[in-house]
Amino acid sequence: MYKILSILLILFSINGTVAQCFQIETILADACGDPEGENEMLVLKTLQPIDAANLVVDWPNNSFLNWCDDPVLTNSLNQGIFSSCGLLLDPPNSLIPAGQKILIVTSTNMLINANSFDGLTDTLYILYQCAGNTWGHFSNGANGTRTLTVSYNGNCIGSQSVNYKPTDLLGGDGAAIFYDNAGNGTYFNTGCNAPVPSINPNWDFPRVLCNSYNTLDLDEFLPPNTISNGNWSGDIENGHFFNPTNKLGIYSVTYTVNDPNACLVSVDSTIKILVEAPKVGYDTIVVCDSINQFNTWLTEDTIVDILINYNNEYICDSTIVRYYFINKVPYDINPKSIVLESDETHVFEIEGLGNYIYSISSNLGFSCDFPCDETELLPESETIFTIIIEDQDNLCTKKIDLNLSILYEPVLNIPNTFTPNGDGKNDNFKIYTEDIESAIFTIYDNWGGVMFQSKNKDDFWNGKVKAKQVNSGSYVIQVVAMGKDGKEYKELKTLNLVR
């Protein structure tokens, strides 16, 4: 265990109040490695000298197991820092000076290969929680707001709490939160590197920029973990602005940061910016008859300007000038709506000279495939014949609907006498019709009794009831018919039976 100082120094600010001990800078809430609970981390920055043994962490989702020394683990982690100048230190006698950073690891069983410290450019004091917690400390799968509290019992104000929402963590393993001086959190992802915002000049910028865009404030493109008091240089204006107006080509901008406390005193990051002007392109579309574009039917040759929006405010919107050429089929049929007498045929004629073929189909099943030579149409009822004409010169087609309707004149011819005497003449009674779709007739005696009832218009009565001849006399016939014109026809008259 780290030794506890027997003498505590009480530090006062000018106004006599106790100064703040430390500031929480970073939480690695979704660690790399398994089990996750042994690889999570947080970073503190000391504002006063502190005794690490008196730090206590109230984890959002686990118990605090106290501190354990592990210089062998610290040495192994330092062996992984081979391309930079950073260093991890075990605090001597548990004392950590002011202005230093403390990296807290949740277990001495952490996986060395799961979290890279290579690239570290700062000197950090490292503390290990004793082994035992394998479940996560930060509850990164929970809903709602979680709170981390670090407390210190010593010479300064020793408690700070920060909040975060697990649902806002970015990118799974490596998800972290960086806190500013006011405790406001910004979510980012370490990519399974140690969560230490050391001397970092990196900035983010769209590498393609339209020269019609407004002047940019480059300071707004510094990520949260980038040192913000650096210097801009290169193709800039007024210290930290880039203006693409009247520019074309590649421009270079560099951001340089200095940190006298880091092992690399000065580092920089340069981005090449390609400034472009809006582009105009041209294309042609050739179609037959018509085309639906942008919810509009085009039936004549047309020129349309199409704006290409890249959904990126920095990239120029381009324009395509599109030429639409509409090929027409030079054939037609007239008239397109005809009324025929019942059983009358119609002969159509295709107007226009040239090389064409056609097909015919109807809504009632008639068809004549390419190349059809039928020109005479006989509709049984009102019918739409669809004629498709294909122009053999450009292979464009034209569809023409030919509507043939029929003028029906329904007729009921009901004889008033028949002679069922077996002489072969007029022995049966039946009705005669024209343009009648269906009909039934009923024959009654003079007292209303049913002598005979037909089932369809072609039935007949032979003058018998139950195989027995009825007497000569007068009877009543009632006819109910449905004409092909859709109307109902009724008729009641006297029928004379003569033997």
pLDDT, residue 477, reads: 96
pLDDT, residue 450, reads: 95
Residue 399 has pLDDT above 80, yes or no: yes
Rg over alpha carbons for the chain, rounded to the nearest Å, is 49
Please identify which residue in the block is written with the tokens 């089990």.
Answer: 35
pTM, entire model: 0.46
Domain boundary among 327, 358, 390: 327
In terms of residue numbers, what domain contains 125?
Answer: 22-189
Q: What gap in Å lies between CA 379 and CA 383, rounded to an integer?
A: 6
| 48 and 155 share one domain | yes
| 84 and 220 share one domain | no
Q: What is the pLDDT of residues 439-476, one digit of tens each?
A: 999 999 999 999 999 989 999 999 999 999 999 999 99
pLDDT, residue 84, reads: 75
Q: How many CB atoms lie within 10 A of CB 393?
A: 12
Q: Let me know: does 442 contact 477? Beta carbons within 8 Å.
A: yes
| 74 and 185 share one domain | yes
- The tokens describing 138, both together, are 């930060």
DSSP E strands in 343-446: the ranges are 346-347, 350-351, 356-362, 367-368, 376-377, 383-391, 397-407, 411-413, 417-418, 432-434, 436-444
Q: Where does the pLDDT of residue 343 fall: very low under 50, low under 70, confident under 90, or very high at 90 and above?
A: confident
Residue 14 has pLDDT above 60, yes or no: no
| 422 and 401 share one domain | no
Q: Where does the pLDDT of residue 51 fall: very low under 50, low under 70, confident under 90, or very high at 90 and above?
A: very high
State the greatest distance between any 2 C-alpha atoms of the chain, in Å, as a whole number: 147
Q: What is the pLDDT of residues 155-172, one digit of tens each?
A: 888 899 999 999 999 988
**Structural domains in the chain (count):** 5
371: domain CATH number? 2.60.40.10
Sorted by sequence, the CB contacts under 8 Å of residue 147 that are 6+ apart come out as 60, 161, 162, 163
For residue 477, the surrounding DSSP H or E stretch is: strand 473-483
| 485 and 382 share one domain | no
Average pLDDT over residues 243-249: 94
| 303 and 364 share one domain | no
Assess if residue 114 is contained within a domain.
yes
Assess if residue 374 is contained within a domain.
yes
Domain boundary among 130, 155, 189: 189
- The tokens describing 357, both together, are 């073929």
